[in-house]
Amino acid sequence: MTDATQPASRGPMLAADGTPLKKSLSRALRMQKMRALALIAPLLLFVLITFIAPIADMLFRSVENQIVSNTMPRTARLLADWDGQGVPDEPVFEAAYYDLFLAAERKEHTRLGSRLNYEQTGASSLFRKSGRGLEDMGELYQDQFTDLNGDWDEPEPWAEIFGDPEWLAEQAAWDGEGRMPRFQLREGAETLLPRSAEHYAAFARFTQTEDGDSPLEEEPWSAVHTALYQDLAAADLSGYDGPRAEMLAAADALVDSPEFSRLPFTDGFAEIDEAWVQPQIWQTLKLYSPDYTPGYFLNAMDMQLTPEGMEKRPENERIYMLLFGRTLFMSLAITFSCVLLAYPVAYLLSNLPSRSANLLMILVLLPFWTSLLVRTSAWKIMLQQQGVINDTLVWLGLVGDDARLAMINNQLGTIIAMTHILLPFMILPMYSVMSTIPPSYVRAAKSLGATNWTTFWRVYFPQSVPGIGAGSILVFILSIGYYITPEIVGGTTGTFISNRIAYHISTSLNWGLAAALGAILLAVVLVLYWAYDRIVGIDNVKLG
Amino acid sequence: MKLTKTLLASTALSVAAGAVAAQDMANSMTIVSWGGAYQNSQLKAYAEPYQALHPEVSIAWDESSAEAVAKLRAMTEAGNITWDLVDVEAADSIRLCDEGLAMEIDFDEVLAEGDDGSAPTDDFGDSLVSDCFIPQIVFSTTVGYRTDMVGDTPPSDICALFDTETYPGKRALNKRPLANVEWALICDGVPKEELYDVLATPEGQDRALAKLDTIKDDTIWWSAAAETPQLLADGEVVMGSTYNGRLFSAIAEQGQPIGMLWDAQMLDFDGWIVPEGLPEDRLARVMHFLEFATDTQRLADQSAYISYGPARASSAPLVGKHAELGIEMAPHMPTDPANATNVYVTQYEFWADYRDDIDAKFQSWLAQ
């Protein structure tokens, strides 16, 4: 106690418990901060989990592009080394065959087709068609093996050739309950018949996990037959004495004989669709095989990714930059018209006696409590060519019956309807700022000899600027993301970028592009906010 | 005595069997549809009769079909599918099927045979446009006009849309390219059989847009099909495209001075999809309901409430009268022989490929 009251020259000031005051103070402050943080923690977590995280997840889609390398991993790897000239070689077609076959079994090939269709028209049906066509390619070999020996169409021989004996016994004993014993490759199968072992294992695991069936009871896919043909054509089986050695030896002899008909993968793909032997689809696949792509962002800026690099889209496909520009311009126009209309109203509200001010306030809030759709539709009835305003103008003789004004389904309609809808967001912050301006300032200015205009412009207006700033930010940010009103009254020239985002979210399912457009919109808003802070200063914004 | 015993025993058995079956099936179902008159027709023709037979089943309706594709994708990604049966347009069903969001259906296994004994795949025929899609109705996009604004010569063919000399005034057209580009090419002299070959080329697409350009300034572009009947009723437009059922209700139910064209109507299908990944008990209930709701009689019943044609061939002879107005519904079906003299069936495969491409050009053209 005495220490704390002593002059500082006696050393560091100490708190009651003997610790230096500085330390004690900072500890207390830290405790206070922690307590404050703990108090807002529920809200912070809530916002993080339900707001920030989903937005981040959604925006991440604008660069994410793992679908190609996930669905066609072998092809993507080979295409990375391809020079992009002409059509790739046979090994790429081979990889594509096995990749697409598995994808088709998983029913993922059509997803990839829809994804690539955003970049190349026609990919959707090409992939859908190829899923069916690949089956036929493998059946060529499947039929020949089966004709040689019907056992090739049975599940057991395959399982015996490729399955680990221990696994075979466990699988045979499996009673259909509980977990199936996981398929294991027989030792040596992989070195002898590498391709077929790989594809049979893929088949067996797929059958076990996806279908819940035993590989002992399902005949393998025709892709496994294709792989076996490839292995037999390449391998020397003379030393093999494992299961079904005779069956394999006979098949080996068949494959080596001149009667055996084979089909190069390239020709097989060409039979499915000519598009496969043209460079375009392969270039698209190569361009979009990396896990992350700038493609969506380029699309969102009316550009496209080509083998030669980035380039502008053809004139008749450009739309997004136009829509971004229009969205910004119209949002500014709406903000400006809101300021013009709201200022006198807010001024009146704050200067009238409270009785009439309250009544006026209710009038301001009334549309606020009405459904957005109702207000928008009402404007449609008011503004259309056979609508109330045009009828009145014609009746008054101001416009001819055949020259009715077009006030809706265009930019004007959007600006009118949105100004009306967003007006309360401008009036309320203005009102709350204006009602804090002391009337004595105005009286003082006047008593010092200022004219009405000078009083307003030099004394009143500067004090109301924070309200204008707050209202403008609110209205501008709300209108830049507005969707439903422009959709209803905007026609073709009054729609916003958000209408296009909605189209990609709900109709074309191109969420990547929607995310890229959204990310750009967010960036534009942040940049404008930053500019506003630099020019006007964010401290100059007051909501009350 | 013995007979009674046997009867009792068998009753007990069948009750027990019923109880087992009921336990295997969920007793609540969420069906997604479009709301309005269409959903009401499904309620009256499918759901209420079904619930009369199975009073333990409760059905919740969700009017989300317009956003079904996006919502279903979000639900699947979140791993929480709350819908059991979703009504979508055929084009959307293809997209859902491609994305793996809708379940593939073995039609002959799941659906009921036709009243005439035909297999479901034959009875539904060409309307089975995707492996996941169980069609209910045939509807068409066609053109309606104000009878009092077209003078003495009401339009009889689709090209009246582009004839602003004879029929001055505004038009209402879809803000999407579907049907518009086809009509534009037809009226620009492209023969029916070459239509989609032409539309597949950039030149053909430019040609369609150039034709539409001649009426661009005279057109109000709608984003909801309900807008056209409203615009016609207000006299805002002299003619406009919408679905035939909307025009029927404006003409027959509301008595508006509106006429309609059947020429070059674009036939389209609407039907059910089952979301992929439903738990077994819910799936069992959905399949049970589907078999009932898509049989010959139920599809025919629906046409008493709305003027859309049943998707089953065997339902056509059973189409009766309007439930309230008592008028014969057959002449108001898009598939009625008198109406179906010049029809175009929507080419889903084509649109699945070209939708994004043509839509981008179309929107870019609109925004200029």
Backbone angles phi, psi at A122, to 5 degrees: 105, -15
Q: CA–CA separation, B214 vs B210, rounded Å?
A: 7
Give how far A209 is from chain B: nearest CA, Å: 15
Residues 6+ away with beta carbon under 8 Å from A485: A372, A376, A414, A417, A418, A421
For A209-276, list the strands marked E by DSSP: none
**A448: amino acid identity, one letter:** L
- Which site among B207, B364, B365 would you substitute to test the A interface, given the most A Cβ atoms closer than 10 Å to its Cβ? B364
CB A508 within 8 A of CB B356: yes
* CB spacing of A319 vs B221 below 8 angstroms: no
Minimum-distance CB partner of A124 among B209, B235, B352: B352
Pick the closest to residue A66 from A287, A296, A289 (CA basis).
Answer: A289
Helix (H, G, I), strand (E, B) or coil at A220: coil
Helix (H, G, I), strand (E, B) or coil at A37: helix
With bands split at pLDDT 50, 70 and 90, how would you rate the model's confidence at A10? low
* CB spacing of B99 vs A111 below 8 angstroms: yes
Model pLDDT for residues A36-75, shown as the tens digit of each residue: 999 999 999 999 999 999 999 999 999 999 999 999 999 9
Give how far B348 is from chain A: nearest CA, Å: 10
Give how far A514 is from chain B: nearest CA, Å: 12
* CB spacing of B365 vs A316 below 8 angstroms: yes
Q: CA–CA separation, B85 vs B275, rounded Å?
A: 7
Residues 6+ away with beta carbon under 8 Å from A408: A379, A380, A383, A384, A387, A489, A491
Q: Output the pLDDT for position B146.
A: 95
Q: Which residues of B have a CB under 8 Å from any CB of A?
A: 66-67, 69-70, 73, 95, 97-100, 104, 170, 175, 206, 209, 220-221, 223, 234-236, 349, 352-357, 359-361, 363-367
Minimum-distance CB partner of B99 among A121, A384, A509: A509
Q: CA–CA separation, A322 vs A526, rounded Å?
A: 20
Tokens 């509980």 sit on residue: A178
CB B102 within 8 A of CB B307: no
Q: Could you say which residues from 300 to 319 on chain A have a Cβ atom under 8 Å away from some Cβ of chain B?
A: 316-319
* CB spacing of A121 vs B363 below 8 angstroms: no
Question: Please, is A5 exposed, middle or buried when counting C-beta atoms within 10 Å of its C-beta (0-12, 13-18, 19+)?
Answer: exposed
**B48: amino acid identity, one letter:** E
- B-chain CB neighbours of A500 within 8 Å are 363
Q: Output the pLDDT for position A513.
A: 96
Q: CA–CA separation, A502 vs A486, rounded Å?
A: 12
Model pLDDT for residues A127-180, shown as the tens digit of each residue: 999 988 898 888 999 999 999 998 998 999 999 999 999 999 888 888 877 788
* CB spacing of A114 vs B98 below 8 angstroms: yes
Count CA atoms within 13 Å of residue A36 on its CB side: 6
CA triplet B70, A66, A113: central angle to 5 degrees?
A: 60
What stretch of H or E contains A256?
Answer: helix A245-256
Q: CA–CA separation, B282 vs B288, rounded Å?
A: 10
Q: CA–CA separation, A27 vs B253, rounded Å?
A: 78
CA B47 to chain centre: 18
A-B contacts (CB, under 8 Å): 88
Residues 6+ away with beta carbon under 8 Å from A166: A184
Helix (H, G, I), strand (E, B) or coil at B341: coil
Pick the closest to residue B368 from A485, A487, A316 (CA basis).
Answer: A316
Arithmetic mean of pLDDT, A383-412: 91
Complex ipTM value: 0.87
Model pLDDT for residues B78-130, shown as the tens digit of each residue: 899 999 999 999 999 998 999 999 999 999 999 999 999 999 999 999 899 99
First and final C-alpha spacing in chain A: 45
Pick the closest to residue A275 from A456, A126, A414, A494 (CA basis).
Answer: A126
Task: Supply the mean pLDDT for chain B.
Answer: 90
Comparing alpha-carbon positions, the chain B residue that sits nearest to A319 is B364
Q: Output the pLDDT for position B19.
A: 43
Q: Output the pLDDT for position B158.
A: 95
- B-chain CB neighbours of A318 within 8 Å are 364
Other beta carbons within 10 Å of A133: 18
Arithmetic mean of pLDDT, A510-524: 95
Comparing alpha-carbon positions, the chain B residue that sits nearest to A506 is B70
Q: Where are the alpha helices (DSSP H) in B214-347?
A: 227-234, 244-248, 280-293, 296-302
With bands split at pLDDT 50, 70 and 90, how would you rate the model's confidence at B15? very low
* CB spacing of A384 vs B69 below 8 angstroms: no
Model pLDDT for residues B59-77, shown as the tens digit of each residue: 999 999 989 999 999 999 9
Both tokens assigned to A453: 């205009």
Is A124 an interface residue toward B (CB < 8 Å)? Answer: yes
Pick the closest to residue B323 from B303, B340, B309, B294 (CA basis).
Answer: B303
With bands split at pLDDT 50, 70 and 90, how would you rate the model's confidence at B11? very low
Angle between helices A123-148 and B348-367 (to 10 degrees): 160
- Which site among A323, A509, A510, A511 would you substitute to test the B interface, given the most B Cβ atoms closer than 10 Å to its Cβ? A509
* CB spacing of A493 vs B360 below 8 angstroms: no
Comparing alpha-carbon positions, the chain B residue that sits nearest to A106 is B100
Question: Please, is B333 exposed, middle or buried when counting C-beta atoms within 10 Å of its C-beta (0-12, 13-18, 19+)?
Answer: buried
Q: Could you say which residues from 103 to 122 on chain A have a Cβ atom under 8 Å away from some Cβ of chain B?
A: 107-108, 110-111, 113-114, 117-118, 121-122
Q: How many helices (H) and strands (E) does chain B have?
A: 15, 11
CB A163 within 8 A of CB A204: yes
Arithmetic mean of pLDDT, A453-473: 92
Q: Could you say which residues from 379 to 408 on chain A have a Cβ atom under 8 Å away from some Cβ of chain B?
A: 384-387
With bands split at pLDDT 50, 70 and 90, how would you rate the model's confidence at B23? low
- A-chain CB neighbours of B352 within 8 Å are 117, 124-125, 128
- B-chain CB neighbours of A125 within 8 Å are 349, 352-353
Helix (H, G, I), strand (E, B) or coil at A47: helix
Backbone angles phi, psi at B60, to 5 degrees: -105, 140
Arithmetic mean of pLDDT, A319-338: 95
CA A244 to chain centre: 52
Count CA atoms within 13 Å of residue A172 on its CB side: 11
Model pLDDT for residues B241-255, shown as the tens digit of each residue: 999 999 999 999 999
Model pLDDT for residues A241-262, shown as the tens digit of each residue: 888 888 998 999 899 888 899 9
Minimum-distance CB partner of B98 among A122, A128, A385: A128
Beta bridge partners, A14, equal: A20
Q: In chain A, where does the domain assigned CATH 1.10.3720.10 lie? A: 320-540
Give how far A91 is from chain B: nearest CA, Å: 27
* CB spacing of A492 vs B367 below 8 angstroms: yes
Residues 6+ away with beta carbon under 8 Å from A336: none
- Which site among A506, A513, A517 would you substitute to test the B interface, given the most B Cβ atoms closer than 10 Å to its Cβ? A506
Backbone angles phi, psi at B265, to 5 degrees: -65, 145
Tokens 């859908």 sit on residue: A128
Other beta carbons within 10 Å of A372: 14
CB A504 within 8 A of CB A288: no
Q: CA–CA separation, B358 vs B368, rounded Å?
A: 16
CA B18 to chain centre: 35
Comparing alpha-carbon positions, the chain A residue that sits nearest to B104 is A107
- B-chain CB neighbours of A373 within 8 Å are none
- A-chain CB neighbours of B67 within 8 Å are 506
Tokens 């990889």 sit on residue: A95
Backbone angles phi, psi at A279, to 5 degrees: -65, -30
CB B182 within 8 A of CB B195: yes
Q: Using DSSP bridges, classify how beta strands B171-174 and B219-222 pair: parallel, antiparallel or unpaired.
A: parallel
- Is domain A320-540 in CATH 1.10.3720.10, yes or no? yes
Comparing alpha-carbon positions, the chain B residue that sits nearest to A390 is B236
Give how far B163 is from chain A: nearest CA, Å: 19
Q: Output the pLDDT for position A536.
A: 77
Q: CA–CA separation, A235 vs B198, rounded Å?
A: 51
Helix (H, G, I), strand (E, B) or coil at B170: coil
Task: Supply the mean pLDDT for chain A.
Answer: 90
Comparing alpha-carbon positions, the chain A residue that sits nearest to B216 is A492
Residues 6+ away with beta carbon under 8 Å from A213: A207
Comparing alpha-carbon positions, the chain B residue that sits nearest to A386 is B236
Residues 6+ away with beta carbon under 8 Å from A118: A299, A508, A510, A512, A513, B356
- Which site among B131, B228, B363, B366 would you substitute to test the A interface, given the most A Cβ atoms closer than 10 Å to its Cβ? B363
Q: CA–CA separation, B302 vs B309, rounded Å?
A: 9
pLDDT of B2 above 70? no
* CB spacing of A492 vs B97 below 8 angstroms: no
Model pLDDT for residues B113-123, shown as the tens digit of each residue: 999 999 999 99
Pick the closest to residue B197 from B214, B188, B185 (CA basis).
Answer: B185
Comparing alpha-carbon positions, the chain B residue that sits nearest to A402 is B169
Tokens 């070959």 sit on residue: B197
pLDDT of A445 above 70? yes
* CB spacing of A509 vs B95 below 8 angstroms: yes
Q: Using DSSP bridges, classify how beta strands B58-62 and B28-32 pair: parallel, antiparallel or unpaired.
A: parallel
pLDDT of A237 above 90? no
Least confident of A51-55, A387-391, B20-24, B135-139: B20-24
Comparing alpha-carbon positions, the chain B residue that sits nearest to A317 is B361
Minimum-distance CB partner of B70 among A128, A492, A506: A506
Is A123 an interface residue toward B (CB < 8 Å)? Answer: yes
Domains of chain B, each with CATH number or no CATH: 17-137+270-328 (3.40.190.10), 139-268+341-367 (3.40.190.10)
Give how far A388 is from chain B: nearest CA, Å: 11
* CB spacing of B353 vs A124 below 8 angstroms: yes
Is A508 an interface residue toward B (CB < 8 Å)? Answer: yes
Q: CA–CA separation, B323 vs A410, rounded Å?
A: 41
pLDDT of B208 above 60? yes
Arithmetic mean of pLDDT, B10-30: 61
Both tokens assigned to B245: 């059922």
Q: Output the pLDDT for position A174.
A: 85
Give how far B234 is from chain A: nearest CA, Å: 7
Residues 6+ away with beta carbon under 8 Å from B155: B143, B145, B163, B166, B167, B239, B261
Q: CA–CA separation, A175 vs A154, rounded Å?
A: 21
The structure's pTM equals 0.88
Minimum-distance CB partner of B364 among A125, A316, A511: A316
pLDDT of B213 above 70? yes
Residues 6+ away with beta carbon under 8 Å from A535: none
Percentage of chain A lying above the pLDDT 90 cut: 63
